[in-house]
Amino acid sequence: PAESLLYPYGPDQRDRKTPKLDDGTSNQISLTTPFTFYGKEHRSLYVNNNGVVSFGTRVKKYTPDPLPLADGRAFVTPYWADVDNVLGGDIFYREITDPALLARITKNINEYFPNVPFAATWAFVATWDHVAYYGSTTDKGNTFQAILTTDTKRSFVILNYWDIQWTTGAASDGDPETGLGGTPAHAGFNSGDETNFYNIPGSRTDAIINITKTSNVNVPGRWVFQVDDFKVTSTEVPEVANSNNCWL
């Protein structure tokens, strides 16, 4: 069931939504707890319709660029592609304060990183719910999440992929009928420098359609990373079934 992979989201969770706007973004969202991303403390972020959670600046670009980007942009991208929520779907987001949900996140992180002491005191969840692609002539939709969480010392990112039916918008040379081809979606994150970044295997290739079946924590459709410090992250990721899923 979806509940086993996705964290709760939607109107009943009092989520907010980004505007129904092609290449749209949320307003700047002030965080009640700072989030450390590669040694930099961030107190606000943007949820961008095109599958990006960014710090400091919006990301409206619809065709994903290869990482790393050395232009100072810092962001997490569960699925950077040309989303068009005017044609279908919603993008939800909220800060998490529910103790039961924070406990669930803590339990998950402790399972994946048993040697890293962690008890979540804060989290932020953004969910793309059955979102369409630009130029779509079908009802195909993608559902995925990005969760940021911290205990004020260590920070983690959880990426959940529940249903991925398309990879590419028409303006990125994708097929309007299939949502495939062209320059496919990118998943990973960029610190803003030339060293600290990660491309989830399959990014910007047709293989990204299979991201619901891949993982670095042996949970199909889930990727988890420690992101407060790159060196800690690269050494603490537990051994996975596919040894090629390594840090760059």
Quick one: tokens of 229?
A: 């410090």
Upstream peptide bond of 68 is cis (omega within 30 degrees of 0)? yes
Give the Cα separation of 227 and 38 in Å (integer): 6
What's the confidence (pLDDT) of residue 237? 36
187-212, pLDDT tens digit by residue? 999 998 888 889 999 999 999 999 99
Q: Is the pLDDT of residue 241 over 50?
A: no
pTM: 0.92
Closest to 130 measured CA to CA, from 138, 118, 140: 140
50-95, pLDDT tens digit by residue? 999 999 999 999 999 989 887 889 999 999 999 999 999 999 999 9
What's the confidence (pLDDT) of residue 230? 63
What's the confidence (pLDDT) of residue 70? 74
The least confident of 25-29, 67-71, 151-155 is 67-71
Give the Cα separation of 205 and 125 in Å (integer): 26
Residue 31 phi, psi (nearest 5)? -100, 140
What's the confidence (pLDDT) of residue 49? 98
What's the confidence (pLDDT) of residue 53? 98
Q: Is the pLDDT of residue 239 over 80?
A: no
What's the confidence (pLDDT) of residue 227? 94
Which DSSP string corresponds to the chain? -GGGTSPP-SGGGT-EE--S-TT-BPPPEEEEEEEEETTEEEEEEEEETTTEEEESS----SSPPPSPP-SS-EEEEEEES-B-TTTS-EEEEEEE--HHHHHHHHHHHHHH-TTS----SEEEEEEEEEE-BTT--S---EEEEEEEEE-SS-EEEEEEEEE------GGGT--TTTS-SSS--EEEEE-SSSSSEEE-TTTTSGGGGGGGG--SSSSTTEEEEE-S-HHHHHHHSPP-S-TT----
Q: Is the pLDDT of residue 124 over 90?
A: yes
What's the confidence (pLDDT) of residue 36? 96
Share of the chain above pLDDT 90, in %: 85
Write down the domain spans for the chain: 11-226
Give the Cα separation of 247 and 200 in Å (integer): 9
Quick one: tokens of 200?
A: 């989830």
Residue 112 phi, psi (nearest 5)? -85, -30
What's the confidence (pLDDT) of residue 79? 98
Give the Cα separation of 158 and 222 in Å (integer): 7
